[in-house]
Amino acid sequence: MKKTYLFSMILAFAVASLAIAQQKNALISFKQTNHDFGTIKEEDGIVSYSFEFVNSGKSPLIIQRVITSCDCTTSDWSKEPLSPGVNGVIKISYNPKNRPGSFDKMITVYSNAETPTVILQVKGNVQERPKSIEDIYGRLIGDFRFKTNHLSFDRVFVEKVKTDTLEFVSVANEPVKIGCKVDGLPHLNVKFIPETLKPKEKGLMIVKFDAKKRNDWGFVLDRFNLKENDKDIKDGLINISASIEENFSNLTEEQRINAPKIEFAKTDYDFGQINEGQVVEYEFSFTNTGKSDLIIRKIKSSCGCTTVEPSDKVIKSGKTSTFKASVRTKGLSGRNTKSITVISNDPVNPNVVLRMSGIVNVIPKKE
C-alpha cells in the first residue's frame, strides 16, 4: 500500500512539473492559418499576405525557418526572438507569372514553441493575362515571328506524303515578302500563304514531306533558310524532322506468320574500363529466326564516335550475320554509353537499339 501511495505521489509531482515547464515555454498563436486571395490577375504581379501571430507563452519565441511548398511562394518573417506577449508576422508572397488557374500552397513554420511546427495555407485563382504577339509567336526570324522554328512530322510511312503547317506573323512596318531556299531537298515542298504580308498580318507556311523521295529510314532532320524580300535571313533556319518507317498495318495474318524476325545474341556490350584515346571494337551477331528474307534497312549510331560496318543486308531464314561497331574514345571521360539503332523489315521489332558502354579513364599529362 505504501509503495502504491509513493508511486502516485511521484507521478503527480512529475505531471505538475511538466505543467509548470509547459507554462514557461514559448507558445505561437496565429489569428488565422489560411488565406484565400480569391481571383487575381496574372498581369498584376506578386500578391502577399501577412499572417499575424503572438507569443502567448512565458519564454522568448524564435521562428527558426519557414518552408514553402514551391519556388512560386516566398516568405519573410522576424528573425529576432519575440518576448512573451509580443506580436509578429510571417509575410507570404505568391508569384502568378505563367501560372494561370487555381493554386493551393502549404507553408510550414518551424519554431521553438511548445508546438514546434504550424502549417499555413494560401490559395486562390489566377486569371490568365492576355497573350501578346511575342507570347504567341515566340521565335523572331527577321521581320517575322513564328510559334516555333521546328516542324516535326513524327511518323511518316515510306510511301506517303505528309503535310503540316507553321503559323507566323509579320512584325514589319511595311509589306514584306517571305520565301525560302530548299535547294538539294527535293522531298520538301514549301508554300507560304500569303507570300507578301501586311504589318501584323498572319500567315501559314505549308510544308509537304515526301518520304519516298527522302530515301532514308528512321529519324531524319532537314534544314532550310528563310528569305525576306528575296534575301537570306541571318539565323533564319527552319528545322524539319520525321521518323520514316515501314507500314506493317496492312499485313495479313499469313504474312505476319511468314515474316522475318531479327534476334541478337547480345544487345548490350560493356567494355569495362579503358584509357582515353583507345578504340573499342565489338562484333554484334544476329540471326533471322523468321520465315522470309530479313532486310537490314539502315544501321545508324548515336554520334560520330560510333561507326558500324554491316557485312550483309539481306539475311535468309535461319542464317546469321554480323556487323562491327567501334567507339573512338578520344575526348571522352567517365561513364559513356553509345547507342546503335538497327532498322529492318521485321514487323514486330523493326527498330532494335544496341548499346556499348563503359568507363573512360583520362590519363593526366606529364608536365
Running DSSP on this structure, what letter comes out for residue 195?
A: S
Running DSSP on this structure, what letter comes out for residue 10?
A: H
Pairwise CA distance, residues 155 & 243, whole Å: 5
The C-alpha torsion from 307 through 311 and 315 to 320, rounded to 10°, is: -90
Q: What is the pLDDT of residue 365?
A: 72
Q: What is the largest CA-CA distance in the chain?
A: 109
Which grid coordinates belong to 177?
Answer: 515578302
Phi, psi of 227 (to 5 degrees): -120, 145
Q: What is the pLDDT of residue 304?
A: 66
β-pair type (268-275, 351-361): parallel
The cell 518573417 sits on which residue?
77
- The model carries a pTM of 0.68
β-pair type (101-111, 63-68): antiparallel
Q: What is the pLDDT of residue 322?
A: 93
Domains and CATH numbers, the chain: 25-127 (2.60.40.10), 133-245 (2.60.40.10), 253-361 (2.60.40.10)
Which grid coordinates belong to 81?
Answer: 526572438
Pairwise CA distance, residues 187 & 210, whole Å: 5
pLDDT tens for each residue of the chain, 367 residues long: 444 544 444 444 444 444 444 446 899 999 999 999 999 999 999 999 999 999 999 999 999 999 998 888 888 998 899 999 999 999 999 999 989 999 999 999 999 999 999 999 999 999 998 888 998 999 999 999 999 999 999 999 999 999 999 999 999 999 999 999 898 999 999 999 999 999 999 999 999 999 999 999 999 999 999 999 999 999 999 999 999 999 999 999 999 999 999 999 999 999 999 999 999 999 999 999 999 999 999 999 877 667 777 778 999 999 999 999 999 898 899 999 999 999 999 999 999 999 999 999 998 776 6
Residue 214 DSSP SS3: helix
Pairwise CA distance, residues 162 & 221, whole Å: 15
